[in-house]
Structure 1
């Protein structure tokens, strides 16, 4: 069940969640790119197609034999859920595509910020981080308030330039500003490069990670049935400043 803090985060505009975005930066090669935050509902059909294509190219082979197989329809429903948000990396920059503009209508005399749909081609998409605000169970009676990172995907043409770290840094800062407990994510064990990346960024097995729980349970010599090994890890990183 969503807590007041989670409901507040879900209701917040992108400009409230990350007032510093959109912003531009440069790749190591010198090419400019833009970082923007957008709600899934404000992605154009072409932008949604581009996001799905990058995900599918990166993950299909890994996931088709895993416990997380997907169809295009099921994955699109997850990717573009109404509560999903995206940190998007585009080159060349397209600032006007995500700029909020004030509108006035009969239901809101003071005006309300409405975001123009973000529209881009696959060739412009360097990468993205998809996330949602939610609660997750813990080993105690209190659920954790979290930013759940669903995807970090980068185009093969721009890997090794620190963009994955940049995406996570922004995501983690959003979680800290909202006063949430942690960032959580699920990663396939077979995706060894991703696991190594998340570990380098300070992510550790969460308290509800099945493998961690199994490793911490005492071994029963009389146990005849072996625990079924899962093919994924649940990782997390605290949002509390140390």
Structure 2
């Protein structure tokens, strides 16, 4: 019997606090250099203006040049709307002092008739990169994908973003069936990792 993807996604979207409800938070909370990290979970629409400006400034710091050289180009208003979409949810990482140091934003969506948790952005402040924090957030997202009966976690990455491609590959992500072919002329890859059924 085919899975009703729309129903599964609609059901997943209705959970107010899915990470807490399904106890999906990563068990890892310490960086590679021993600092304890904590996480907050919220809808994009619940971010304060101050928090949203921090989210956007970090995106811009990390990705401005990459978007400028991309085929998509850089459209600030479009990206702001995307990050604050009503369907977007955030996992925000904080260091031991309580300072925000990174985030991932994700959505439950139907992609090519399949229910997925889509990792829209994953951004870490430069001083905290390569310390395991992104992996902690992916771990939470993968558990959440499984608990909400999504088929996989997906992400779109620029082909020239070597560190990001390496990060996702390290965590078991491979080219999705929907990934553009090498001769497509497109400058991004679509990666995914199947989630085990609960």
TM-score by length of 1: 0.73
Q: Is the contact made by 1:32 and 1:93 (CA closer than 8 Å) also made in structure 2? A: no
Residue 30 of structure 1 deviates from its aligned partner by: 4.2
- Gaps in structure 1 of 5+ consecutive residues: 95-123, 138-142, 215-226
Please point out which of 51, 58, 64 is paired with 1:60: 64
Alignment root-mean-square deviation, CA: 2.3
Instruction: Give the unaligned 5+ runs of structure 2.
Output: none
Name the counterpart of 2:103. 128
**SS of the counterpart of 1:166?**
helix
2:135 aligned with 1:169: no
Tell me whether 1:4 sits opposite 2:7 in the alignment.
yes
Greater gyration radius:
1
The change in CA–CA distance for 1:84 and 1:93 in structure 2 (over 3 A counts) is farther
Supply the distance in 2 between the matched residues of 1:165 and 1:202 (Cα, whole angstroms). Answer: 11
Which residue of 55, 73, 76 maps to 2:77? 73
Question: Taking structure 1 as reference, are residues 77 and 55 closer, same or farther at Cα in structure 2, changes over 3 Å only?
Answer: same
Higher relative contact order (CA 8 A, sep 6+): 2
- Name the residue aligned to 1:18: 20
Which residue of the other structure, out of 168, 174, 182, is the alignment partner of 1:198? 168
8 Å Cα contact 1:18/1:174 also seen in 2: no
Correspondent of 1:85 among 65, 72, 89: 89
Aligned match for 1:152, one of 122, 133, 137: 122
- Distance apart, 1:44 and its partner CA: 0.2
Match of 1:118 in 2: none
1:104 is aligned to: none
Q: CA deviation at 1:92?
A: 4.2
Question: How many Å apart are 1:37 and its aligned residue?
Answer: 1.1
Is residue 110–residue 116 contact of structure 2 (8 Å, CA) maintained in 1?
yes
Q: Does 1:236 align with 2:192?
A: yes
Q: Is 1:36 matched with 2:40?
A: yes
Query: What TM-score, normalized to structure 2?
Result: 0.89
Deviation at 1:136, TM superposition (A): 0.7
